[in-house]
Amino acid sequence: MRGGILIIGSLLWDARPEREAWRKSRLTIDKAVHVSVPIHYGRRSASRGNTFTMTFASDGPLGQGVLVPCRTNLSDSAALLNEAEELWKAEQPTAAPGSIAASWGCVGLVFRDQPAPPEWLRAWVEHFHSKASPVPPVGSDGLLGIPWPAIAVDTAASVELLLATATKPDTMCPLAEDVADAWIDQDRGYERYFFENVRHGIRTADDGAIWRRLKERRARWLGGEAYAQAIAVLAGEERALI
């Protein structure tokens, strides 16, 4: 089967060596395509100064993620399990070998066609039960509870299954202003997460409201060159609404 990785955050652009090595060895980045997917900034991350990171939102508005085909076809269910483990290793390099989950997140799977191939599904469910606990919208069977993303580009049309990392959302969905304020009220550069997502086409329905709040509070880093490309995108979208 032809597999792909659905990316909704820093796995796409983080320059840490382990993530660059994973992208180079496991993915065909030149065939990445943008897809519609329900996502939002829904989780406060202690490792990012209590600023917000991306989560899936199965019943929320559509945003835009990135689908990247795997470099090699998955010959059997064992290859699928290995691909999931390699994905998690990129997420958490310090995890024990064979891991696909932690308390804050897990790998989920979605098949394009239903019903899913029984042998593959059985192997995945058994592996998930032995290795992970579900994180919404991943169910107890390890399946990611979102619709199959709309894919309009022929180069990705052959993808038959997707793996993705779901992270544990906060109990209360934050407002766009809360998300922006968390970045403004820190001084360790964690706002980069938002601007790099924008620059790479990972978008949420709240991006416009987040941008307006950043400007309203005159975030000190808005005038620098580091985020100029993303800011140009956001400002252009704002002008188009006037």
- Type of residue found at 199: R
Q: Judge whether residue 176 has pLDDT over 80.
A: yes
Q: Is the pTM of this model over 0.85?
A: yes
Nearest to 211 by CA among 236, 186, 242: 236
Residues 80, 99: Cα–Cα separation, whole Å: 14
Per-residue pLDDT at 227 exceeds 70: yes
Nearest to 90 by CA among 34, 7, 31, 170: 7
Tell me 155's DSSP state.
G
- Residue 155 pLDDT more than 70? no
Distance CA 241, CA 91 (A): 37
Instruction: State pLDDT tens for residues 66-87.
Output: 999 999 999 999 999 999 999 9
pLDDT confidence of 157, banded at 50, 70, 90? low
Query: Is the per-residue pLDDT at 153 higher than 80?
Result: no
Output the pLDDT for position 154. 55
- Confirm if 5 and 68 have CB atoms less than 8 A apart: yes
Mean pLDDT, rounded, of the chain: 95
pLDDT tens profile 84-122: 999 999 999 999 999 999 999 999 999 999 999 999 999
Helices (H), the chain: 17-26, 77-91, 118-131, 176-184, 192-199, 207-216, 228-241
Residue 32 has pLDDT above 80, yes or no: yes
pLDDT for 10: 97
Tell me how far apart the alpha carbons of residues 17 and 168 are, in angstroms, rounded to a whole number.
Answer: 25
Is residue 195 scored above 90 in pLDDT? yes
Q: What's residue 224's pLDDT?
A: 86
pLDDT (0 to 100) of residue 95: 95
- Rounded average pLDDT over 175-201: 97
Stretch 120-135: mean pLDDT, rounded?
97
Distances 191 to 11, 51, 52, 149, 185 between C-alpha atoms, Å: 16, 8, 9, 27, 10
What whole-number percentage of the chain has pLDDT above 70? 98
Q: Any idea which residue has 């199965």 for tokens? A: 58
Residues 6+ apart with CB under 8 A from 3: 69, 70, 73, 74, 80, 83, 159, 160, 161, 162, 163
Residue (of 147, 160, 127) closest to 1 by Cα position: 160
Q: Using the 8-state DSSP alphabet, how is residue 203 labeled?
A: B
Quote the pLDDT of residue 138.
Answer: 97
